[in-house]
A = this chain, B = another copy of it.
Amino acid sequence: MFIGFSEAESFLRNCRDAVIITHQNPDGDCIGAGFGLKDILEQLGIRSRVICHDEFPSPRYDFITSVGQGEDFEPQTVIAVDIADVKLMGKYADIYGDKVQLCIDHHISNKNYAEKTLLRGNATAACEVIYDLAEYMGVKITKHCATCLYTGIATDSGCFKYDCTTPRAHEIAADMMRRYDINFARINRYMFDVKSEGRMRLESKVVELMETYLGGRLNIIAVTKEIADAMGVSMDELEGFAPMTIQLEQSEVGIFIRQRDNDYKCSFRSANDVNVSEICQSLGGGGHAKAAGCSMTGELEEIKKSLVETVERALSR
């Protein structure tokens, strides 16, 4: 059942304790939302614990998680943040999947799996929803909480760069700067500018693999196991390269391809108006208009040829 702020407030004020579930492969928004909500519940005298299928990336998110996830206890209340679908809970799907009493989310694709869902499908981030909920409730948040919530808004919006950024996200950022004196420049440096030396050198190697099609409107980077072995990197390390495929001036669509055991994982990005979600759906995958994915089997050269044709058709529409 979808609920509004008023019902979410009574729910939170009436719970005695809570476990807060964040999604697997945790990012800035679910980590910020989880720990931000934990801070808010603390203000209300409610103990809570933040859990995740995976470890929270360290040291990247230490400035959020170093307060601790909270002690272990048998919770009476189960809350999910930034989780559109039970299966994104990983190992916790079995334990808590059908016991979520409150879900706070901003994904329009939310499966409505929880007893009550506070969904704002047009919000930049789950952290934006939680900030507005705290405002609604009149809870005075801490500087650490503001830091958590700013991080989620910044990371989900690409530091206010992408389409999904709402005017409200900017207003909240202004508010946090004025009222809580958050060290936003340092957060942004960690989230957006800093990389490891290995990552920096890897990026310059990956650039060399870029291939240009359709007069520059399509770029493809394909990393086979053989190439990854030669570069000395695991496939896990090849996360986050998809945006690189649309950084050239003429780019309309970019595809980052990684070989897996039995298939190729294809991550699509759209620079402007092409809806890559539609393209990926036609190939058995899915996603958002500007970022989507699918998997393909067969010979790499055949796959590329077919992808180029598919994108060419989409561009001519």
Residues of A within 8 A of B (CB): 158-163, 165-168, 170-171, 173-175, 177-178, 184-186, 188-189, 192-197, 200-201, 203-205, 207-208, 210, 212, 216, 243, 246-249, 251, 271-272
Contact = CB atoms under 8 A, between A and B. Distances in A.
Given A159-B159, A200-B248, 20 more contacts: A158-B188, A159-B160, A161-B185, A163-B185, A165-B184, A166-B177, A167-B174, A167-B175, A167-B177, A167-B178, A168-B174, A170-B170, A170-B177, A171-B171, A174-B174, A193-B246, A194-B251, A197-B248, A204-B207, A204-B208
A193 B243 contact: yes
Q: Which secondary structure dominates where chain A touches chain B?
A: helix
A192 B248 contact: no
A174 to B, nearest CB: 4
A213 to B, nearest CB: 13
Contacts of A204: 203-205, 207-208
A248 B168 contact: no
Contacts of A216: 197
Contact of A247 (B168, B177, B195): B195
The oligomer's copy count stands at: 2
Contact of A170 (B162, B174, B186): B174
A41 to B, nearest CB: 27
A198 to B, nearest CB: 10
A255 B290 CA distance: 36
A152 to B, nearest CB: 15
Contacts of A166: 177
A75 to B, nearest CB: 36
Nearest to A172: B170
A161 B188 contact: yes
Contacts of A249: 194-196
Contacts of A174: 167-168, 170-171, 174
B197 A185 contact: no
A194 B158 CA distance: 15
Contacts of A186: 272
